[in-house]
Each structure stands twice: as C-alpha cells, then as structure tokens.
C-alpha cells in the first residue's frame, strides 16, 4: 500500500484548533466574539456535528450550550453517556449573525477544519444534527426528515446517523422528540455493535 500525501497541513487536533482560532477566511470572522472549535473527548467513539454556534456558544466559546444544547445533553444522557465522553462540533465554527443559516461560502471556507477535525477524531459513529451537517457529510440533497432513522457508511468503517437538529425538536416537540429519541437508540446500538464485533 502506498502512503497517501497528507490532505491537510495540521499535525494534531491542537494545532488545528489553534489555527482555526485565528481564522479570517470568511466574513464571519468580522462578527464573531470567538471561534467555537469543538468540545469533548478527542478519543470519543461518538462525534456530533451541528450547524453553527448561536449567541450563547459565541459568548462561551463552547458548542451547544444554549437551549438546543441542553436538549442535546439530555439526549446524550438518555443513551447512558455524558457530554465529556463524546465530542461536539459544528459545520461552521463562527456564529452567523442573528442566527441566520450559514452561507455556502462560509461552509466552504470552514469545511477543511471540519474534515481535518474528523480525521484526527476518527470516530466510529458520527451524528449529524439537522440539514447542514447531514447534507455536507453525506452529499445528499434530501431533507433531514427524509434521511433520519437510517445509517450511512462513513469514511470506511464508521457510520453516520443523521438526526433532527435539537433546535428544530424544541420548536416542533411531540413527534420530533420521539424521532430524536429513536435515532439515539440507533446511535447506542451502533456504538454497542463495534464493541462486540
């Protein structure tokens, strides 16, 4: 087997985070308080990828610490894990002003950070939260409601499980919450499967 050339210039997750922290590749750099790179256990089997930081995340520098984050924390705890045993990050590392959707130019600029982050984390299970992360990492054009409830092969041996964004679950409640919980059961099973394989 031939050795592949490194596809990115960073030697470690720490180096990558330090570089991202001073990024000025897109206009979000002008309006952010700080870069929100990611949080959790860098050797976690399970990585969550959201859309982009909101106001509270921009203030604290930590992903998913607002209301949607509190729901994510509860869902993680619902499958017997804690936030510090998983890793949480976003498609874009800087807050889109007014919580608008990230623009294609912002997603493209930030994508090398996410791809390299996933290279270093090398999780067994990736959960994409909502349309932006799901579309970016699976290449689908379908909406999250069509693709959730399924598993997709990811980067060889890993699996990707798309689920509703917790902010959408907060808005829609009821069925959406039940669907989220069902998706987290898939996540739990995927994690367990790797261990007795």
Residues 90-129 touching ligand URA, rule: CB under 6 A, are: 90
Q: Where are the beta strands (DSSP E) in 33-166?
A: 39-40, 46-50, 87-90, 125-129, 152-154, 158-163
Phi, psi of 47 (to 5 degrees): -125, 135
Q: How far apart are CA 7 and CA 19, in angstroms?
A: 16
- Return the number of the residue (90 or 134) whose C-beta is nearest ligand URA: 90
Positive or negative CA dihedral for 41, 44, 46, 49? positive
DSSP 8-state code for residue 99: G
> For residue 148, what are its two tokens?
């959730």
Residues 149-168 that bind ligand URA (CB under 6 A): 167
Instruction: Rank residues 9 and 173 by Cβ distance to ligand URA and give the closer one.
Output: 173
Segment 39 to 78, residues that bind ligand URA, using CB under 6 A: 50-54, 57, 63-64, 66, 68-69
Smaller CB separation from ligand URA, 97 or 153: 97
CA 118 – CA 45 distance, rounded (Å): 11
Query: Minimum Å distance from CB 159 to ligand URA?
Result: 21
> How near is the Cβ of 13 to ligand URA at its closest, in Å?
18
Nearer Cβ to ligand URA (60/140): 60
Shortest CB 4 distance to ligand URA, Å: 31
**Could you tell me the two tokens for 117?**
């982050």
| Total chain residues near ligand URA (CB under 6 A) | 13
Minimal distance in Å, beta carbon 55 to ligand URA? 9
For ligand URA, give the closer residue by CB, 69 or 112.
69
Going across the sheet that includes 125-129, the strands are: 39-40, 87-90, 46-50, 125-129, 158-163, 152-154
Q: Which residue is nearest to ligand URA (CB)?
A: 50
Contacting positions for ligand URA (CB under 6 A): 50-54, 57, 63-64, 66, 68-69, 90, 167
């Amino acid at each position: 087997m031939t050795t592949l050339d490194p596809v990115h210039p960073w030697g470690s997750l720490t180096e990558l985070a330090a570089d991202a922290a001073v990024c000025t590749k897109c206009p979000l750099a002008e309006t952010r308080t700080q870069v929100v790179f990611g949080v959790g256990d860098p050797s976690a089997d399970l990585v969550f990828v959201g859309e982009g930081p909101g106001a509270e995340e921009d203030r604290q520098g930590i992903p998913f610490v607002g209301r949607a984050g509190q729901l994510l924390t509860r869902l993680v705890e619902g499958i017997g894990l804690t936030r510090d045993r998983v890793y949480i990050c976003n498609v874009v590392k800087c807050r889109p002003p007014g919580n608008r959707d990230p623009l294609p130019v912002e997603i493209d600029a930030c994508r090398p950070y996410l791809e390299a982050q996933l290279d270093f984390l090398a999780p067994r299970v990736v959960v994409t939260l909502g349309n932006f992360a799901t579309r970016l990492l699976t290449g689908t054009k379908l909406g999250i409601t069509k693709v959730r409830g399924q598993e997709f092969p990811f980067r060889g041996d890993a699996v990707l499980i798309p689920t509703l964004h917790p902010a959408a679950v907060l808005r829609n409640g009821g069925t959406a919450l039940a669907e989220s919980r069902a998706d987290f059961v898939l996540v739990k099973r995927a994690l367990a499967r790797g261990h007795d394989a």
